[in-house]
Amino acid sequence: MHDTYGMAVPNVLTAVGAGIRTVDSSVGGLGGCPYSPGATGNVATEDVVYALHSAGYSTGVNLDSLAATGAWISQVLNRPNSSRAGQAWLAKLRREQTQRTQEGNLKAKL
């Protein structure tokens, strides 16, 4: 599903609410239409999964792994990662890791 006007995630939630159980998305929002230069790409799978989880749906998808995969493949392909949820999720994981490290250092000093 293309995310040209930023409405893909709300459209997915509406579709799932109406009974649709399969939607098309792309990790990191990679891809798009080569026939429409300048158009935005596909909806990011990370954004879709985060929205579905937030709406109470179970997807069976591990968001930690999905966000890391989106960041990795975007870096390998040298393409921007357009997933807002994926980037925010990874930042949250980094903050949590930093906090655990700082707490561990504090305990070691005591």
Q: Is 60 inside a domain boundary?
A: yes
Residue 85 pLDDT > 90: yes
Residue 2 in domain? no
Q: Is 98 a catalytic residue?
A: no
Please identify which of the residues 10, 14, 20, 33 carries the catalytic annotation: 33
CA-nearest of 34, 32, 49 to 83 is 49
Residue 56 domain-assigned (yes or no):
yes
Q: Which residue has the tokens 């997915």?
A: 12
Count of domains for the chain: 1
Confidence band, pLDDT 50/70/90 cuts, at residue 105: confident
User: Does any domain span residue 80?
Assistant: yes
Using CA atoms of 44, 85, 93, 23 in order, give the dihedral in degrees to the nearest 10: -40
Q: What's residue 103's pLDDT?
A: 81
**Which is higher by pLDDT, 40 or 19?**
19
pLDDT, tens digit, for every residue of 4-18? 889 999 999 999 999
In a domain, 3, yes or no: no
Instruction: List pLDDT tens digits, range 21-47.
Output: 999 999 999 987 777 776 777 999 999
Residue 21 lies in a domain: yes
Instruction: Round to whole Å and give the CA distance between 64 and 80.
Output: 19
Q: Is residue 63 part of a domain?
A: yes
* Domain span including residue 94: 8-109
- Domain for residue 50, yes or no? yes
